[in-house]
Structure 1
């Protein structure tokens, strides 16, 4: 992919050097950048990108360490979702090719075994739903038990918006971490989803944290949001203080309202990675969907040397990812150890 980027209006701040400020504030003091400061980073010119990535890597190494957390995901219920998330081919409201399907328990266990075999410590069960009904909660109860009987791995879940009763039940099952993405800045959310609100997602995350599960919350960049809204989003994530932030880059899906969006450019994607690391110095910042088309192999390596400290290996929910072996070989080449299971408990 050609690395071209319109750098109009991307100038270093006139009131001081933001990377010098970040070195003192984030690297030395451990305080993440504010939204206003993140915006300054996002407006840095391309000739300062390498400097940004180097600083972000130093922050990651000092405040998170060299280990990389590896995770696999599987969809227990695919397609047929009643929500209208404009990026998602699993919505039943769009003419996309994904159709509703359920994964049986033996297949779920097999997927967990295959994930563990890669060295991954986290296995996330995902469902395309507004929130879980009784059938899905039953599937979770049976599936989690079956996996625990066969596989030594942390189990995470992503089942949409939850009631307090469902939060408590998932915690009782031993779900290690719950994923529910805010997707984008609060101010831009109505451009992405209209069938529920940003606040409803926030409420689920609040209950998850109170129940003692780890909070996994990130989003997608490249959906038409501005730099200001990306900075706003970074600030809102910092306020939430999630344990993990999966960073997705829009991979436009045929049949969705965002199906004709232009894929984000590599330098822009790397700038976002560096900025989010400086906003979230102690958070697990995970490569998620779309990195393959936004960054390619070279960009993937640069991101790992620019603040990323976790990866999803294998395929995503409806799109293909890199082969797990490719990511693991890259981590070995970069001398980045895979985090052991007992370090994630």
Structure 2
């Protein structure tokens, strides 16, 4: 009669969520790679329990506030790289044409982003790395925005040289985004025209220059659960300020155009696992959440570890209306982070 409680206690002791509660929630220590994999392998019937734990971790180590960001493509299409998920590559038969946005349109986009309550506005370009023309356009755009809009400005311009890193820092760029995209072991299946290490080098220089580091990736690109856990652990090693979590929205004409959309339960499990791997990091809902999760899943994600959102449209795909996300935050009683709280 005395064996059952002992056995029950042993099960509880060895359970990954019990481990995570003590390790991450109580002590603030991120899960290790093998523990992240255990979380990703949990059965669906434990999803609600997992999401509740991830939400508790987010609330304890990040607080209730949500950071809101808008993005704009300064230079779209015609990219020379072969990122297999991207319709902006000039190497694929995909429908995105090369185009530049003018400075007045850039300023107007920043104004509209600020009206939503967003504190971050990210200028993005589809390039391997910026040339002199692009750097000049970015500088002019930042100056024009600063003259009319009070908002932090981030950039995502591909791989950088040290000189370019220093230039962006001198422009006052608040945060630089450069995604590692996926686990190092899976990267050659996603991109062949540059390496994972080249991306890592840019991130290292950005950090050393004093800019905040934004680095995440796309889930559902054919990676195994083991590689997804590897990716989360590698991001934890990088210690970025922000991790945008995208879910593959297969684009016609790209090598990944025929991949299946990640199941919602798998996406939610991944969100929670990344929160447990990155307890103090801004974890941002990004592209693909609409097709992967829908409205109900978006709500579950916000209650499962997410504490930041991109509002409006993405670079080449439509997002939820900004008002829908702002309304959702109000419904969940999650305050939008104020501009002075992000400095």
Distance 1:216 1:279 in 2: 16
Q: Equivalent residues in 2 for 1:21-60 (5 A)?
A: 21-60=19-58
Structure 2 counterpart of 1:261: 259
Matched, 1:16 2:14: yes
2:336 counterpart (330, 335, 338): 338
1:136 counterpart (112, 134, 137): 134
Q: Which moved more, 1:15-24 or 1:330-339?
A: 15-24
Matched, 1:89 2:87: yes
The alpha-carbon deviation at position 210 of structure 1 amounts to 0.1
Distance 1:258 1:244 in 2: 26
Output the TM-score relative to the length of structure 2: 0.96
Structure 1 counterpart of 2:274: 276
Distance 1:94 1:335 in 2: 44
Structure 2 counterpart of 1:125: 123
1:80 counterpart (78, 81, 92): 78
1:245 counterpart (243, 246, 249): 243
Q: Which moved more, 1:183-192 or 1:15-24?
A: 15-24
Distance 2:296 2:139 in 1: 41
Q: Secondary structure at the match of 1:123?
A: strand
Distance 2:14 2:182 in 1: 29
Q: Equivalent residues in 2 for 1:294-305 (5 A)?
A: 294-305=292-303
The alpha-carbon deviation at position 31 of structure 1 amounts to 0.3
Structure 2 counterpart of 1:313: 311
Which ranges of structure 2 fall in alignment gaps of 5 or more residues?
1-10
Conserved? CA contact 2:178–2:203, under 8 Å:
yes
2:216 counterpart (218, 230, 253): 218
Structure 2 counterpart of 1:98: 96
The alpha-carbon deviation at position 266 of structure 1 amounts to 0.5
Larger radius of gyration: 2
Structure 2 counterpart of 1:7: none
Conserved? CA contact 2:12–2:18, under 8 Å:
no
The alpha-carbon deviation at position 16 of structure 1 amounts to 1.2
**Residue-by-residue CA offset, 1:149-173 (whole Å, 9 max, x unaligned):** 0000000000000000000000000
**Residue-by-residue CA offset, 1:37-95 (whole Å, 9 max, x unaligned):** 00000000001000000000000000000000000000000000000000000000000
Structure 1 counterpart of 2:143: 145
Query: What is the Cα-based RMSD across aligned positions, in Å?
Result: 0.9
The alpha-carbon deviation at position 15 of structure 1 amounts to 8.3
Q: Secondary structure at the match of 1:181?
A: coil
1:288 counterpart (286, 289, 300): 286
Conserved? CA contact 2:77–2:98, under 8 Å:
yes
The alpha-carbon deviation at position 237 of structure 1 amounts to 0.1
Structure 2 counterpart of 1:192: 190
**Residue-by-residue CA offset, 1:9-33 (whole Å, 9 max, x unaligned):** xxxx998100000000000000000
Conserved? CA contact 2:13–2:19, under 8 Å:
no
Output the TM-score relative to the length of structure 1: 0.96
Q: Secondary structure at the match of 1:281?
A: coil
**Residue-by-residue CA offset, 1:164-198 (whole Å, 9 max, x unaligned):** 00000000000000000000000000000000000
Conserved? CA contact 2:36–2:229, under 8 Å:
yes
Structure 2 counterpart of 1:109: 107
Distance 2:12 2:198 in 1: 39
